[in-house]
Structure 1
Amino acid sequence: MWDSDTIDVGIDLGTTNSAIAVVRDGAAQIVRSTESLEVTASAVWIPKPGVVYVGRKARERAQSDPDNAHAEFKLEMGLVDARRSFARAGLELTPPQLSAEVLKALRADAARELGAAPRAVVITVPAAFTLNQNKATLTAAELAGFDAGCPLVQEPTAAAFAYGFQDGTDRGYWMVFDFGGGTFDAAVVSKRDGDLRVLNHAGDPYLGGKLIDWALVDRVLAPAVAAEFGLADFRRENSAWRPAFSKLKLAAEDAKIQLSRLDQAVVMVDLEDGTFEYSLTRGELDALAEPYYTRAINLCRSALREASLDAADIDRVLLVGGATLAPGLRERLADPDTGIGITIDTSLDPITVVARGAAIFASTLRRPAAAPAAAAPGEFIADLAYEPSVTTTRPTVGGRIQGRPAGGWAGWGVTLSNPDGRPPFRSARISLNATGGFATEVDLDTRRTSRFTVELTDGQGTSHPLTPATFTITHRDVEFGGVQLAHSLGIQLADRAFARVLRKGAALPVRAREVFHTADALRRDDPEAVISIPVVQGERDRGDRNRRVGMLEIRPRDVRIDLPAGSEVEVTFEVDASSLVTVVADVPLVQAQFEAEINLDDVRTRPVQELREQLDRVDHRLNGLRDQGLTGEARERLDQLDDEHAVRTARDQVDAAAVDAGAAAAAEDRLLHLQAELDDIEEAAELPTLAARLHEVLAEADEVVQLQSTPADRQELAALHRRAEEAVAAGDPAAVREATDRAIALVVDVQRRSPDWPVRLFFGLVQAVGERGPAKPLVQQGRQAIAERDTRTLDAVNQRLVRLLPEEERSHVIGLRRAS
């Protein structure tokens, strides 16, 4: 019977295959399936009511019996409208329910190996998974019979664990390159003096081997089938051909696997119209996979850049995932020009390394214990406090004994011992304090698990039974730096900017608070009024280019008094160890608290027509940028999108969205990414104009400050020149805009001190808005006010003239001064 104080069991819940591992005697071991395989295919076949098959047999039936067998449902996790039907059983199962069947099979394998089914387990998720996908994974674990709140760990982090705990070097930087069946993650890992830490990661939740399989089907095999058998409209989005495409997809995957060892593979599929045969070469496959490899490599470069490192700083690349077995990808990765040029480490099996790492992480976590009941008369319960995995050989162990000793704890004590230690260990008798507490140090065997016994004795030296009476601590050379927040979290402001409250990479659990101010007033006599604060997740500076995960709402019925514009709102974000989020807003003025509605159970796929419209808008923007003849950074970024075949990949997903919920989710994610990339390209293209405008305003500031200023004005202008040089040199459009606005503000501030400022502003505005239409009476009124030296009226006229300007020009009114 398996008995451990720590969780010890880890599961890699994969898109194509899943695996389970357990740590025993300090080493991670893969638990084989009932088919004697190290992995279990993530596929479910239900041929009739009450009969469920999981694994290789189910994967094969996904080809021959697609109405009753399904695979690759991981990419649909977290989508409430995603369902897979099983016709003969009369069932419809959600992705969490399907994943639960896979987890049940793995749990049963572990029970056979360990003698008991584990209650707790560590489950891996892609680093790029969103909140709703993590939540769906926890739901699947509960449905499979695991305790609620199973710890989640990111897949590249688990892989780093597996490598880091078997690696003997003390220092180094690694990159985890995790190209799985459905997702891609790149992580930069640091190992320093026994501390293993993930510094940064980048990923794509819809980039994986599945895309390569479908590209092979859609662009090579399906056209060949249509030509050979004369089939009209033979396309994946046509549901009439679903069984044929299921067979082609599985054949494509098998051929891809063969080509990791051979130069050529024969694809042979029995279709209704006859047997289809195609000879596929490794060169053809590599050409199809090239844009996906490019995307993965660009994400690696991004992860390095954000960590302030380059390829020369990285000692090796750790390969994870079945796609990394492809020789073409390995050659590309090793190339310093087209790849990243870092030594590749293949010392661990890329298929099972994540499960091994998850188990190692699990061995550092104590198993959740039921809340201890109050000790009955004559019983004693030990509430122990210690770290189950440490890098020191003399850790501290503390605790408190619960019970009702006659006369209190005076004279009572505990003794800790490890008779199997090398050498055996036995502490002195440790007296309990008045509340039954104690603390001491124990000796550990290096690189082993030490099991200690706790003996409780009274003042006469009589031993008393204690529950629990034993505990274990494992000594390791490596300590883990902690699970990190995968995506930044914050709120979208009224101007659509993204205000980060928690930044990507924060160690979990984490809590942070920020103060914001309302943009509008909230009047209690307006029942339709609402202050909406979108909660968003992502890395883009523009809030609506990130993923909305919740909404904070403040309504008139929620407050006792009117809220004026500018009222303080204190927003607190809290994320637990499994990345579940709580957001609370406090409004001090009304002493009220509001919790965000973060409904992760109602995330749906976008309608196909809406996705097509978004794709058309992206196409239109992209073609417009191409027609501009861009240069510099804008051209480089545009070329990168073309190298990654970003639009073509998005179009493939949109086309498949009608028959594949996972494709619909992927299409939405890719279109959001493309829109944000095009925002950045447009900004980069605008940079020369912005820089010219900044220099023009600075020249005007030089002139104004020279004529009329204080020493403080001159110091601020010198600082503005430095800031402007840095912003232009960095190619940062947002920083250039900020420097321009600051320079304008300085000029306005200095000029407003001049007695003739209202007059000069008036003539500048007249030139900008003209003297016709709604401006005509204002111009006449202004001229009369100047003649009568009526400053108050002239100020009012200027304010009304400013409102006639386009909104984007109002903050730049001072730039018109020279023309007057």
Structure 2
Amino acid sequence: MRDTIDFGIDLGTTNSAIAVLDDGAVSVLKNNLQMDYTPSAVWCRRRGVIEVGAGARRRLEDDPDSVQVEFKQSMGLPDARREFPKAGVSMTPVELSAEVLRSLRGSVAPREMPDAAVITVPAAFLLNQTEATQEAAKLAGFTGNCPLLQEPTAAAFAFGFQNESKGAHWMVFDFGGGTFDSAVVSTAEGELSVLHHAGDTHLGGRNIDHAVLDQVLAPEVVRQLGLTDFRRDNPRWRRNFVRLRSTAETAKIQLSQAEQTQVLLDLDRGDGQEEMFEYTLRREEVDQVARPFYLRAVQLCRTALESANLRPADIDRLLLVGGPTLAPGLRELLADPSAGLGIPLDHSQDPSTVVARGAAAYAGTVARPRTVRPAKRGEYSLELSYPATTSLPSVPVSGRCSTDGSAGWARFRIALSAPQRQPVYRTSEVSLSADGTFTVDTVLDELSTNRFEIELLDPAGTRVPVRPDSLTITHQLNEMMGQTVVNTVGLTEADGSFTPMLMKNAPLPAAKRQTFFTTATLLRGNTSSVIRIPVAEGERRRGERNQQVGVIEIRAKDVRFDLPRGSEVVMTFEMDDSRQVSVVAEVPLLDNEFEAVIDLKQQQVPDPQTLRRLLNELEARHEQVRTQVEGTRSDRARGLLNRLDEQGSVAAVRDEVRSGGADEGAAVAAERRMRDVQADLDDIEAELRVPEVLERLRDQIEHCRELVDRVGADEDRTELAGIERRYAAIAESPDVEAGERLSDRVLDLQVLLLRRDGSLDLEVFNALRAARDTMSDPARARELIREGEHVVATSNWAALPDVNRRLRRLLPDDRPGQPGGGILRGERE
């Protein structure tokens, strides 16, 4: 019986693999075809008959309707199904992934059949996708705990768990078949930890294959064979594109070793007749169409480095993972310090199996549940505490001995022995305490799995049976630190901003508690009144650019009395080691708590019509922003736009939208990538607003200066001096968000001084009068404004605050809570 999980699985988009840790060494387990990896392909031509792996992949060209591939892209989508029409069967991505996992698990038999394994997922996988992976593991027959490990973390561990590099920084560059991950890794004092990561769950070799198809091969097919409307999304030509895709993928792999290769295959002319298509594909053609995808991956690496406060020059090695990293063009780009990263490349590990190896190495650190059977009379049981793995040369083993009945434990002794070692090793005998506890220090055989027999000696010195009777401790040069939060989880506030609560890369378990305030009134008698707090996952500043994963609703029927605007709501976010999230909103005024409904199955596959509409909106905005940038002198805005265009982000969205009608994974990728591009355009527009924000700040500060000179105290002058210093810093390194926050801070000081000056109520009235067109009752607003104007004309200042209060009630933000949108605001610095 193993003490640790020991098995690791790389569940890949294109290929999958399983590895095991035995006696301190990792080995990849071959499948029944004696291959190190199994293609992630499922063939089903007849109900009840399923084939997984290379055989299924080979059937793709001749029987494409009965083969499913790349279903990993659709994990976490409850309405996604893949059809096998000839068998009359449909399967979800989870069920298809389970078939692959079941096949890999069968590779271990007949030696043993593991009930648990560490399974890898892309670093950028969202909560719904990780939950789907766990579900697939259960369907595959794994009954034990199957921890999930980020793919770049697994790769880093494969490179580092028995590597003597100390005090080094590495970067993982994991370019897989369908996903890309990068991670910044630190190795120090025997600890290997991930400092930061960035990735894209829809960036990989499949993007390059599609680009080669659409930009090189398809146009040549049209030129040679004269086929009409020859597009990848046209069902009429599906079989041709399946064949072309398979041939293109093979040719791409061959171009890793050659400058050119021959594409030769029969294609259907559309009338049942076939004609030979022949083309010489050159490496430079593939590099050219692949360059935008390479650059997008490089930018993700730079993002991870910036988040870790490091530069490429600080990284000792770039660890290459994934089949596409074999391409010479990609390696040349990565070695270029200008276009790429300029970090020394390390391709010492097999890129196709390194993730599985790392998962197995990590699995050796995860202890299996230890069940302690109650001791019967005359039997002895142990509760043990010791590390499953360590980088230390010696460690203590602690425990407590128990039996049914009484025992004079102080006269018992215990020792650990390793008879298989040369020379034979045995610890010194240690006497138990009166309560049966003990601690034994052990010396480990380095870089191996140390198995110790437990020797319990009774008062007569006789060895007595004990359960468990052995334990294992694996020595490694580097210990993997614990799991972290994969993506930031937070809430969307009333102004649309995203407030992070559980930060990306924070150690698990993680928790945060923060107070917010309602921006709408909840009326108990209004049945449609509701306070809705969206919970989202992602790294973007605007909530709508992230993936919503849940919502908290406080409805009128849930409260005993009205909840006024400005009421406190204390939000508590928690995530455990298995990434299960709980979110609770506590409303002190109501003395009640409301729990979020985290619905990880709510994301649906967007329909093609919606995608086309969103694409049209995105392209129009992209052109509008381009026009704005061309009319400005902002070098930073121009640089951000050039980077967006250089990476081909809008073109990539267009390609995914075109494929989305027949591929639900592409449809989801299109929707997610559109959010990302919209967020990039947000950043560009923010840069364009820099002059406006700085000008507003200058005017506000000048007004404050006049007020401070007239009615300010010493603390006001100190506050203003701090504001002016902060303004100078923002003007030197423009930051729109920092400018907006400083503007709020200046406004607070203005309000304080205006109150002291006695002119605040007049300023508020003038602002409300300017906002009359936005008010809910225009006639009532005009009546109140006339009343206020009369108050001002007669200098009846005592009556003006009451007029302002009644006008404020007509503002949209002061209406009772309505369905939709965030209604909380947090305190700003």
Q: Deviations over 1:504-531 (max 9, x none)?
A: 0111232333333333343443333332
Q: 1:557 to 1:464 in 2, by over 3 A?
A: farther
1:713 correspondence with 2:709: no
Residue 13 (structure 1) shift: 0.8
Partner Cα distance (1:590, 1:756) in 2: 37
Q: Identify which range, 718-727 or 203-212, moves more after superposition.
A: 718-727
The amino acid of 1:314's aligned partner reads I
Q: Deviations over 1:1-54 (max 9, x none)?
A: xx5311111111111111111112211111112112111111111232332221
Partner Cα distance (1:121, 1:805) in 2: 57
Q: Deviations over 1:559-618 (max 9, x none)?
A: 455444444333332223332322233334444333322222343211111111111111
Residue pairs, 1:406-485, within 5 angstroms: 406=406, 409=409, 411-421=411-421, 424-433=424-433, 435-485=435-485
Residue 757 (structure 1) shift: 5.3
Q: Give yes or no for contact 1:421–1:444 (8 Å, CA) kept in 2.
A: no
Residue 291 of structure 1 corresponds to 292
Report which structure shows greater RCO (CA 8 Å, sep ≥6).
Answer: 2
Partner Cα distance (1:514, 1:801) in 2: 32
Residue 747 of structure 2 corresponds to 744
Residue 698 (structure 1) shift: 1.0
Residue 662 of structure 1 corresponds to 665
Q: Deviations over 1:262-312 (max 9, x none)?
A: 111111222223222221100110111011011011111111111111111
Q: Identify which range, 526-535 or 11-20, moves more after superposition.
A: 526-535
Equivalent of residue 192 in structure 1, options 167, 188, 191: 188
Residue pairs, 1:363-762, within 5 angstroms: 363-369=364-370, 371-406=371-406, 409=409, 411-421=411-421, 424-433=424-433, 435-628=435-628, 629=630, 630=632, 631-755=634-758, 758=761
Partner Cα distance (1:51, 1:171) in 2: 53
Partner Cα distance (2:789, 2:552) in 1: 50
The amino acid of 2:17's aligned partner reads A
Q: 1:706 to 1:807 in 2, by over 3 A?
A: farther
Partner Cα distance (1:584, 1:760) in 2: 40
Partner Cα distance (1:606, 1:194) in 2: 47
Residue 715 (structure 1) shift: 0.3
The amino acid of 2:620's aligned partner reads H
Residue 309 of structure 1 corresponds to 310
Q: Give yes or no for contact 2:772–2:782 (8 Å, CA) kept in 1.
A: no
Q: Give yes or no for contact 1:176–1:188 (8 Å, CA) kept in 2.
A: yes
Residue 86 of structure 1 corresponds to 84
Q: Identify which range, 704-713 or 416-425, moves more after superposition.
A: 416-425
Residue 109 of structure 1 corresponds to 107
Partner Cα distance (1:235, 1:752) in 2: 68
1:57 correspondence with 2:60: no
Partner Cα distance (1:689, 1:404) in 2: 80
Q: Deviations over 1:336-378 (max 9, x none)?
A: 1111111111111111111111111111111234x44433444
Residue 198 (structure 1) shift: 0.7
Residue 234 (structure 1) shift: 1.9
Q: Give yes or no for contact 2:8–2:117 (8 Å, CA) kept in 1.
A: yes
Q: Identify which range, 3-12 or 69-78, moves more after superposition.
A: 3-12
Q: 1:268 to 1:617 in 2, by over 3 A?
A: same
Residue 448 (structure 1) shift: 2.3
Residue 794 of structure 1 corresponds to 800
Q: Give yes or no for contact 1:422–1:445 (8 Å, CA) kept in 2.
A: no
Residue 268 of structure 2 corresponds to 272
Residue pairs, 1:171-190, within 5 angstroms: 171-190=167-186
Structure 2 residue ranges without an equivalent (≥5): 270-274, 815-829
Instruction: State TM-score, norm by structure 2.
Output: 0.92
Residue 272 of structure 2 corresponds to none
Partner Cα distance (1:379, 1:38) in 2: 46
Partner Cα distance (2:23, 2:54) in 1: 31
The amino acid of 2:528's aligned partner reads E
Residue 15 of structure 1 corresponds to 13
Q: 1:231 to 1:342 in 2, by over 3 A?
A: same
Partner Cα distance (1:145, 1:748) in 2: 65
Q: Deviations over 1:745-787 (max 9, x none)?
A: 21222122124555577678778989x9988766654454345
Q: Give yes or no for contact 1:705–1:747 (8 Å, CA) kept in 2.
A: no
Number of equivalent positions:
802
Q: Give yes or no for contact 1:120–1:368 (8 Å, CA) kept in 2.
A: no
Q: Give yes or no for contact 2:117–2:145 (8 Å, CA) kept in 1.
A: no
Partner Cα distance (1:135, 1:729) in 2: 46
Residue 730 (structure 1) shift: 3.1
Residue 817 of structure 1 corresponds to none
Quote the sequence identity (%): 47
Partner Cα distance (1:520, 1:63) in 2: 59
Partner Cα distance (1:602, 1:766) in 2: 44
Q: Give yes or no for contact 2:115–2:144 (8 Å, CA) kept in 1.
A: no
Q: 1:346 to 1:692 in 2, by over 3 A?
A: same
Q: Give yes or no for contact 2:415–2:440 (8 Å, CA) kept in 1.
A: no
Equivalent of residue 95 in structure 2, options 86, 94, 97: 97
Q: Give yes or no for contact 1:138–1:148 (8 Å, CA) kept in 2.
A: no
Q: Give yes or no for contact 2:162–2:477 (8 Å, CA) kept in 1.
A: no
Q: Identify which range, 779-788 or 468-477, moves more after superposition.
A: 779-788
Q: Give yes or no for contact 2:419–2:425 (8 Å, CA) kept in 1.
A: yes
Residue 443 (structure 1) shift: 1.7
Partner Cα distance (1:222, 1:547) in 2: 35
Partner Cα distance (1:208, 1:644) in 2: 14
Q: Give yes or no for contact 1:185–1:202 (8 Å, CA) kept in 2.
A: yes
Partner Cα distance (2:165, 2:787) in 1: 81
Residue 731 (structure 1) shift: 2.0
Partner Cα distance (2:807, 2:635) in 1: 39
Q: 1:608 to 1:435 in 2, by over 3 A?
A: farther
Partner Cα distance (1:7, 1:346) in 2: 28
Q: Give yes or no for contact 2:512–2:574 (8 Å, CA) kept in 1.
A: yes
Q: Deviations over 1:70-100 (max 9, x none)?
A: 1111111111122112233321111111111
The amino acid of 1:196's aligned partner reads L
Residue 166 (structure 1) shift: 3.8
Residue 433 (structure 1) shift: 4.2
Residue 194 (structure 1) shift: 1.6
Q: Give yes or no for contact 1:124–1:155 (8 Å, CA) kept in 2.
A: yes
Partner Cα distance (1:12, 1:501) in 2: 30
Q: Give yes or no for contact 1:70–1:84 (8 Å, CA) kept in 2.
A: yes
SS in 2 for 1:92: strand
Q: 1:107 to 1:767 in 2, by over 3 A?
A: closer
Q: Identify which range, 422-431 or 130-139, moves more after superposition.
A: 422-431
Residue pairs, 1:142-157, within 5 angstroms: 142-157=138-153
The Cα RMSD (Å) is: 2.5
1:358 correspondence with 2:359: yes
Partner Cα distance (1:767, 1:568) in 2: 30
Partner Cα distance (2:808, 2:574) in 1: 44
Residue 40 of structure 2 corresponds to 42
Partner Cα distance (1:741, 1:348) in 2: 53
SS in 2 for 1:517: strand
Residue pairs, 1:212-227, within 5 angstroms: 212-227=208-223
The amino acid of 2:318's aligned partner reads V
Q: Deviations over 1:405-460 (max 9, x none)?
A: 34574644433222334554433444444554333322212222211111233334
Q: 1:50 to 1:516 in 2, by over 3 A?
A: same
Q: 1:149 to 1:420 in 2, by over 3 A?
A: closer
Partner Cα distance (1:789, 1:189) in 2: 69
Q: Deviations over 1:196-226 (max 9, x none)?
A: 1111111111000000001111222222223
Partner Cα distance (1:763, 1:123) in 2: 62
Equivalent of residue 64 in structure 2, options 58, 63, 66: 66
Q: Deviations over 1:104-132 (max 9, x none)?
A: 111111224xx101111111111011111
1:248 correspondence with 2:244: yes
